[in-house]
Structure 1
């Protein structure tokens, strides 16, 4: 079935999201490894992505680990330095789909506060027909509920939805609901997928 709508994850699909790389640049790899081994920073971020207040969540987490307080607070204070750069080819694909009139959605684990920070900086995040943002939905991928919410809202047959995400657990959950899927491991592979599905031509997918 030719897709009727295309759904993009954001982190590591449209914008690079590598907190470990950021902290390596700030405190060095050895200290970063020690901190990530002791502090569940990704679990902390999951709370933000579920809709918890951004600053309060990070700063409260920092108080649990006084020896890492300053570093943990960077997750809030320097968040925009972690969420970069954009992935230009992916952005071009988003816009090529829009130019053809293909409905394009985002389905992303993103906090309310972080989305508010990102959208003025990355203009393409405002170009989706609809952005399904986990913080506003109070549920994160790969929970089946978030996929069901997208289906109910857009009204499109799940088999006609084409979804890309870099994480296999998120892809597997979408596949279980009957979505067409592509695990993102670079924009060229995604471009090739869009061509193979008949939604873009080779020229349009450049």
Structure 2
């Protein structure tokens, strides 16, 4: 099937996103477990991804849970340490596709301010042909509307889009809309899929 554009998720596809790992290293596993059981930090982050103010949203959660105030504020102050490192092979695939003239888009759940900061740390985030950032769009994956907005903007038939994401629920919605998909479980598998589609040669897709 024809592929007219390749769409990358960012978190855990191009950049590792492991907040729990950072907390384990800074406050300890037990403290982290207790906090995550008490505070729905991922729901808090979902608000940021929807476009809510980055710092203010975290400050509200910190005020609601004073026993974890300093740890919750780390989500703001230490954010870039949670969003690291880059996944070099995935970045190489992005650049190889663009070098071949294949349009490459980003479709990511990401806050407005945090994405702007990430751009300063990861220059490849500026290299996409189009960037669909949830915070700017006011909606998040896996809700169908964000996929509809991508289709309306790029004007490419859904069946001609190839999308990779590390979350099954995000993949499921894309599939339901007719997109071609790849569940990302590492850059080697994604590289293989791009070769299978004839978008890259084995050499171009190598690490």
- TM value normalised by structure 1: 0.99
**Aligned ranges 1:103-182 → 2 under 5 Å:** 103-182=103-182
The DSSP-based 3-state class of the residue aligned with 1:164 is strand
The DSSP-based 3-state class of the residue aligned with 1:7 is strand
Partner residue in 2 for 1:4? 4
Contact 1:2 1:199 in 2 (8 A): no
Give per-residue Cα distances to partners, 1:164-184, cap 9 Å, x unaligned: 000000000000000000000
Contact 1:7 1:106 in 2 (8 A): yes
Structure 1 spans left out of the alignment, 5+ residues: none
**TM-superposed deviation, 1:2:** 2.2
Partner residue in 1 for 2:79? 79
Question: How many residues are treated as equivalent by the alignment?
Answer: 206
The DSSP-based 3-state class of the residue aligned with 1:203 is helix
Structure 1 ranges of 4+ moved more than 6 A: none
> Matched residues in 2 for 1:4 and 1:203: separation?
21
Q: Name the Cα RMSD after superposition.
A: 0.4
Give per-residue Cα distances to partners, 1:105-125, cap 9 Å, x unaligned: 000000001001100110000
> Matched residues in 2 for 1:79 and 1:21: separation?
12
